[in-house]
Structure 1
Amino acid sequence: MSAGTYFDAGEQESTQSVAAEMQAKRLQEFLKGRRDHLDLSQEAVAERLDISARAYGNWERGRVKEWTDAKLYALAEALEMSEFQTARLFQYAAGRVPQPEVRTRLRRARSSTRESSAFLGDYTVMMDALALPTFVTDPAWDVKLANKAYRDLFRNVRFHPTAMPSQNFLRFGLFHPDAPSIFADHLKWQLAMLAQLSSSLEQHSEDNGLQAIRRDVYRHPALRDAYLTDMPAWVLGTGADLVHHEGAVRELRHPDPRLGLKGCRLVEETPRSLKSLGLMRLTLVLIDLDERIVPRSRGTHDHHAA
């Protein structure tokens, strides 16, 4: 390569750098001008965008790895820009024109999110009126909503960085050292939870949360052996998992001494509105242990009872 070629390449790189600096400067002046016109501080704009003031400062200086449509349209709304000003913003920040159909999709998505949040807020109020512990999870068993009775059940549980019952129901049952104090027949609960983990992974194999739980199971030799050997044999023998075998009664010890040791059925009762959001509602139905129903085979009831 000749010296002239090296010079041309260096000159081109320098020209591109200068152009990028000029573009960043134009963007900064444009955004600051809008801010000043609206009499807004950087902190106030950051609050509108739901980001930190430091992050917005980087936005205003053009220090953004990628200007996505979502970021640019959010910025345009935060600074109350007209369509013409929005087009200038796209040119200064990303060197392209805005796409109105993308903005329409983003607005619909935000509207749907707001409606979902409002619905879940109302649903939480309804759940708090229920006497039985009730909670709502996503496919990875992260607890999204829980009522007062659920919180009361786990009120004495010590802090754990990854396995709090308010965070993930499976993680609590499998990994929290206080789980046996609540789930009295803990080994049975663990088998059921390992079965549910396996079932959930079959349906959502790419879910990072479920994969992380399985990795943590494999790090505990006893749990790993139960997952690979005991649980499959248990499922084969009973056809049961944590949710769908609703007749199964396991023991649960409530911290309220008036309740104490109870039988517990875990019952799924998910309304269509929650299913549409990819959520599942579960209730811990507490019963007296002497009320447990033992299923009998056909033709064995009358003469055997006698």
Structure 2
Amino acid sequence: MDINVHNEVKRADVREALATEMRGKRLQQFVKGRRDHLDLSQEDVAERLEISARAYGNWERGRVQQWTDEKLYALAEALEMSEFQTFRLFLYAVGRAPQPDRRAIFHRTDAVDPAILAFLSDYSVMMEALPLPTFVTDQRWDVKMANQAYRELFHGVRTHPTAMPCTNFLRFGLFHPDAPAVLVDHSKWQLAMLAQLASSLERHDEDTGLQAIRRDVYLHPALRDAYLTDMPNWVLGSGADLVHNESAIRALRHPDPNIGVQGCRLVEETPRSVKALGLTRLTLVLVDAPERSMPERRLSHDHHAAY
């Protein structure tokens, strides 16, 4: 081999080694920083991942023999990462972006069964053919898959670290500063979402993701007051939460000016095969916009700046 070529190969190897080392340091800082932001211990995250605290410590230090997509998605879920944060996680860990189709159908507890993954993949293809915004959530309202119509509805929403609509629907409605631009009469949506949070916690009181949403609600006086006072009074009147009050029509604003403000009925239509996986399918049925009622007491959105 020519000496110049040999030296260039050596320099390339050194550059690659330095880049790998730098990515490892960034990964460690990124993961630890996210965990600290959530005020979680290594033991807390290990419990979410269903691994030992020692094993998670190795994950956080980057001492992993091979980062698989499943491990990275599980880590992103445990640390409640947004799509952007998940992208950075993959970039630091394996030097590439996540695979979008895998991200759409991934669910940690189901990934061990290839037949389930194949079914969910086919189910997402079916959902893409539907004209109405449709999405599938788990018990903590993490969005596991969503069709193009759903993504188009939130097309203009700015990037947010914890409350993207394709990450967690409740977090989006409660905490994203752009939510009022899409969810018209936002205070009505928020009351229904707070009622849904309470209803979900009644059924899954051990769920750490739901507990985290409630904790963030309590951090902001306006939302806390609504959760403790306004929402229970609202439930007494409507007798339902976000999902189960299917007679309720709320309003939303579509980014397409030809559609504009529409009425929206949130309809649950989960087949048994999907429900058996602990998932719920919801469709935003667009109807003629209802007449605007007298505005309710609005929640202050100044608190969103902290998110």
TM > 0.5 between the two?
yes
TM-score (norm 1): 0.59
What CA distance in whole angstroms lies between the structure 1 residues aligned with 2:257 and 2:203? 39
1:283–1:291 distance in 2 versus 1, CA, 3 Å: farther
Question: 1:228 aligned to 2:237?
Answer: no
Question: 1:246 aligned to 2:215?
Answer: no
1:100-141 Cα distance to aligned partner (Å, 9 max, x none): xxxxxxxxx989621111111000000000000000000000
1:111–1:175 distance in 2 versus 1, CA, 3 Å: closer
What CA distance in whole angstroms lies between the structure 1 residues aligned with 2:158 and 2:277? 31
Correspondence 1:255-294 to 2 at 5 A: 255-289=255-289
Name the SS of the counterpart of 1:210 in structure 2.
helix
What CA distance in whole angstroms lies between the structure 1 residues aligned with 2:290 and 2:128? 28
What CA distance in whole angstroms lies between the structure 2 residues aligned with 1:149 and 1:212? 29
Name the SS of the counterpart of 1:141 in structure 2.
coil
| 1:232 partner amino acid | P
What CA distance in whole angstroms lies between the structure 2 residues aligned with 1:116 and 1:196? 28
Counterpart of 2:134? Answer: 134
Question: 1:117 aligned to 2:126?
Answer: no
How far apart are residue 247 of structure 1 and its match? 0.8
Structure 1: segments with no counterpart, 5+ residues: 1-51, 58-108, 293-306
Counterpart of 1:208? Answer: 208
| 2:114 partner amino acid | R
Contact kept, 8 Å, 2:110 with 2:277, in 1: the verdict is: no
User: Comparing both chains, which one has the higher relative contact order based on Cα–Cα distances under 8 Å and sequence gaps of 6 or more?
Assistant: 2
What CA distance in whole angstroms lies between the structure 1 residues aligned with 2:116 and 2:227? 36
Counterpart of 2:65? Answer: 56
How many residues of Structure 1 are paired with residues of Structure 2 in the alignment?
190
What CA distance in whole angstroms lies between the structure 1 residues aligned with 2:111 and 2:220? 44
1:122–1:226 distance in 2 versus 1, CA, 3 Å: same
What CA distance in whole angstroms lies between the structure 1 residues aligned with 2:220 and 2:285? 30
How far apart are residue 289 of structure 1 and its match? 1.9
| 1:162 partner amino acid | T
How far apart are residue 55 of structure 1 and its match? 2.4
1:245–1:214 distance in 2 versus 1, CA, 3 Å: same
What CA distance in whole angstroms lies between the structure 2 residues aligned with 1:289 and 1:205? 36
What CA distance in whole angstroms lies between the structure 2 residues aligned with 1:140 and 1:156? 25
1:251–1:113 distance in 2 versus 1, CA, 3 Å: same
Structure 2: segments with no counterpart, 5+ residues: 1-60, 67-108, 293-307
1:187-220 Cα distance to aligned partner (Å, 9 max, x none): 0000000000000000000001000000000011
How far apart are residue 241 of structure 1 and its match? 1.0
Runs of 4+ deviating beyond 3 Å = 109-112
How far apart are residue 54 of structure 1 and its match? 5.4
Correspondence 1:191-206 to 2 at 5 A: 191-206=191-206
1:259-297 Cα distance to aligned partner (Å, 9 max, x none): 0000000000000001110000000000112699xxxxx
Contact kept, 8 Å, 2:249 with 2:265, in 1: the verdict is: yes
Structure showing greater radius of gyration is: 1
How far apart are residue 56 of structure 1 and its match? 2.3
Name the SS of the counterpart of 1:55 in structure 2.
coil
What CA distance in whole angstroms lies between the structure 2 residues aligned with 1:249 and 1:110? 34
What CA distance in whole angstroms lies between the structure 1 residues aligned with 2:115 and 2:166? 24
1:227–1:111 distance in 2 versus 1, CA, 3 Å: closer
Name the SS of the counterpart of 2:118 in structure 1.
helix
How far apart are residue 240 of structure 1 and its match? 2.0
How far apart are residue 232 of structure 1 and its match? 0.1
| 1:56 partner amino acid | Q
What CA distance in whole angstroms lies between the structure 2 residues aligned with 1:264 and 1:239? 19
Aligned identity (percent) is 72
What CA distance in whole angstroms lies between the structure 2 residues aligned with 1:287 and 1:260? 12
1:258–1:110 distance in 2 versus 1, CA, 3 Å: closer
Name the SS of the counterpart of 1:127 in structure 2.
helix
What CA distance in whole angstroms lies between the structure 2 residues aligned with 1:215 and 1:223? 11
Name the SS of the counterpart of 1:193 in structure 2.
helix
| 1:209 partner amino acid | G
> Alpha carbon RMSD of aligned pairs, Å?
2.1
TM-score (norm 2): 0.59
